[in-house]
A and B are shown apart, each in its own frame.
Chain A
Amino acid sequence: MATLAPIHAHAAPQGFIRKYIFSLDHKIIGLQYYFLALAAVFVGMFLSLLMRIHLIWPTAVLPWIGEIKPETYLSLLTMHGTIMVFFVLTTAPQSGFGNYFLPLQIGAPDMAFPVLNMLSFWTTFVAFVVLIAAFFVSGGAPLHGWTGYAPLSALNNSGPGEQLGADLWITSIAIFCIASLMGALNFITTTLDLRAKGMTMMRMPLTCWAWFVTAVLGLLAFGVLLSAGILLLLDRNLGTSFYVPLVSVNGQLMGHRGASPLLWQHLFWFFGHPEVYIAILPGMGVTSQVLSTFSRKPIFGYKAMVYAIMAIGFLGFVVWGHHMFMSGMSPYSAFAFSIMTMLIGVPSAIKTFNWLGTIHNGRVRFHTPMLYAIGFVSLFVSGGLSGPFLAQPVLDIPLHDTYFVVGHFHLIMGVAAIFGIFAATYYWFPKMFGRMMNETLGRVHFVITLIGTYAIFMPMHYLGMAGQTRRYSQFTEVAYMTRLIPLQTFMTYAAFITIGAQVIFLFNLFWSMFKGPKASDNPWEATTLEWTTATPPPHDNFGGRTPVVHHGPYEYSVPGAAKDYVMQTDPAGVTAH
Chain B
Amino acid sequence: MASLGPTVTVSVPEAGHGGGSTPPHYGGDGGGPGDGYPDYGRRLRRARLGLAVALAPILMFFVSLVSAAIVRRGLPTFDGTTNTYMHDWIPVDLPFALLLFNTGLLAASSLSAEFARRQITRQAALAPVRSIPGVSLGRETGVPWLYLTVLLGAGFLAGQWRAWQELAARGFYLATNASSSFVYLLTAAHAVHLAGGAVVLLYAAVVSLFHKPIEARRIVVDVTAWYWHFIFLLWVAILALLWLLR
Contact = CB atoms under 8 A, between A and B. Distances in A.
Interface stretch (A21-29, A408-416, A452-460, A567-575): A567-575
A520 B8 CA distance: 26
6 contacts: A184-B53, A223-B61, A245-B77, A246-B78, A258-B88, A260-B75
A396 interface: no
> A interface, how many residues as a size bin?
35 or more
A520 B2 CA distance: 11
A545 B35 contact: no
Interface in A124-158: none
Given A550-B5, A569-B4, A185 B75 contact: no
Contact of B65 (A184, A227, A543): A227
A388 to B, nearest CB: 29
Nearest to A260: B75
Contacts of B19: none
A244 to B, nearest CB: 11
A4 interface: yes
A7 B38 contact: yes
Contacts of B175: 238-241, 255
A6 B35 CA distance: 7
Given A226-B61, A228-B64, 16 more contacts: A5-B35, A5-B38, A181-B54, A188-B53, A192-B49, A221-B60, A223-B57, A223-B64, A239-B174, A242-B68, A245-B77, A258-B88, A259-B72, A570-B3, A571-B3, A571-B5
Contacts of A193: 45-46, 49
Contacts of B50: 112-113, 185, 189
Nearest to A550: B5
Could you say which of B4, B61, B185, B189 has the most chain A C-beta atoms within 10 Å of its C-beta?
B4
Nearest to B13: A2
B15 interface: no
Contacts of A520: 1
A3 B178 contact: no
Contacts of A185: 50, 53-54
A440 to B, nearest CB: 27
A521 to B, nearest CB: 7
A478 interface: no
Interface in B159-179: 174-175, 177-178
Given A2-B39, A5-B38, A240-B175, A227 B64 contact: yes
Nearest to B182: A242
A447 B56 CA distance: 44
Q: Is the interface of A mostly helix, strand, loop or mixed?
A: loop
A257 B176 CA distance: 10
B31 A9 contact: yes
Contacts of A7: 38-39, 42-43, 46
B52 to A, nearest CB: 9
Given A5-B34, A223-B60, A189 B4 contact: no
A339 interface: no
Contacts of A189: 46, 49-50, 53
A104 B46 CA distance: 19
Contacts of A544: 34-35
Contacts of B185: 230-231, 234
A119 B190 CA distance: 23
A257 B77 contact: yes
B54 to A, nearest CB: 5
Given A3-B8, A11-B32, A545-B7, A569 B88 contact: no
Contact of A112 (B46, B56, B71, B75): B46
B1 A267 contact: no
B80 interface: yes
B240 interface: no
Interface in A467-507: none
Contact of A2 (B42, B58, B75, B78): B42
A365 B59 CA distance: 48
B181 to A, nearest CB: 5
B77 A3 contact: no
B11 interface: yes
A531 to B, nearest CB: 7
A169 interface: no
Contacts of A220: 56-57, 60
Interface in B19-44: 31-36, 38-39, 41-43
A562 interface: no
Given A193-B49, A226-B61, A267 B33 contact: no
Nearest to A109: B34
A521 B45 contact: no
Interface string B60-76: 11001100100110010
A570 B4 CA distance: 7
A4 B71 CA distance: 51
A492 B224 CA distance: 56
Given A219-B56, A238-B175, A257-B88, A224 B38 contact: no
A1 B2 contact: no
Contacts of A2: 39, 41-42
Contacts of B177: 258
B53 A567 contact: no
Interface in A206-246: 219-224, 226-228, 230-231, 234, 238-242, 245-246
Given A6-B35, A238-B175, A224 B7 contact: no
A36 B68 CA distance: 35
Nearest to A5: B35
A382 interface: no
B6 interface: yes
A532 interface: yes
B173 to A, nearest CB: 9
B62 to A, nearest CB: 8
